[in-house]
Amino acid sequence: MSLKLTLHTSPTVPLEAENISPDCVEGLTAAEIAALPAYHGNQQATLGDFFTIEGSANGEIELEGDLKKVKMIGTRMSHGRIVIHGDAGMHLGTNMSGGEIVVEGDAGDWAGAEMSGGVLEIKGNAGNALAANFRGTHVGMQGGEIFVHGNAGSEVGGAMRRGLIAIGGDSGDFTGVNMKAGSIIVLGELGWRTAAGMVRGTIVSMHEARILPTFTYATTYRPSFLRLYLVRLREMGLPVEDAQLNGLYHRWSGDSVELNRGEILIFDR
């Protein structure tokens, strides 16, 4: 039986639970895990003050309950699997480098921030700053994959350096802001100011988008590499149409305020 944490007391202010991670609970007993520290606002508490803990730490952790106020789950995890049966709070999977997190509901802001590996799957919606860099750092996501089946907020993939972000719904404003490389694929619509400050990298949208005037139209073509990505999205259950797999895309190059080597690909409906 995998390790199961069930919320028995809802936090009244955000609970910082970065110890809920396979790396942190490996080899510990349920009692030892319950004694791990967690910050409830500015008060030190323990995981056991909020969660009932059952099972053994065998690499998989399941979480039950309304976890909207539980932050930093899976922070810096490098292996293993976390499944959240419901919503998750902010900073989910921050700095993760491996393993897998599955959220069956929504995730708060900063999910996957500065991650470098692993897979983060959000079956509902993601908040703002998905996989983005923190204020004051220059690089966001550096590897791994994120799949959001719903919508995402603003600043998705800010300062991204490598990896894949796929959004099944819409993506908010400033998608890919200051992006350095990597790939963001949005099956829904993009917000304003997409790819502002983009250096390199790829943003794909299946709908018409507002393109900044610092981007230049290049051509309409079939990007062969995109097929690999769309096949991957299909494997993860995102609704990619055959027409999108085989279709033509308008290529826009930019951002010319930077290196001008990035691209926005817009599906030609």
Count of residues binding another protein (CB under 8 A)? 21
Figure out which of the listed residues 37, 41, 231, 241 binds another protein, where binding follows CB under 8 A.
Answer: 231
User: Is there a contact between 113 and 94 (Cβ–Cβ < 8 Å)?
Assistant: yes
217 binds another protein (CB under 8 A): no
Q: Does the footprint of another protein cover residue 257 (CB under 8 A)? A: no
Q: Report the residue from 215, 229, 252, 267 that binds another protein according to the rule CB under 8 A.
A: 229
Residues 149-188 that bind another protein (CB under 8 A): 162-164, 181, 183
Interface with another protein (CB under 8 A), residue from 79, 245, 256, 260: 245
Structure tokens belonging to residue 88: 């998750």
Between CA 83 and CA 112 the distance in angstroms is 15
Among 86, 188, 223, 247, binds another protein (CB under 8 A): 223
| Distance (Å, whole) CA 244 – CA 28 | 48
- If binding is defined by CB under 8 A, does position 237 make contact with another protein? no
142 part of the interface to another protein, by CB under 8 A: no
**CB within 8 Å of 224: residues ≥ 6 apart:** none
Tally the residues of the chain: 269
Q: Quick count: other Cβ atoms within 10 Å of Cβ 239? A: 11
Question: If we measure between CA atoms, which residue out of 210, 162, 199 comes closest to residue 184?
Answer: 162
Q: Is 79 in the site for another protein (CB under 8 A)?
A: no
243: contact with another protein by CB under 8 A: no
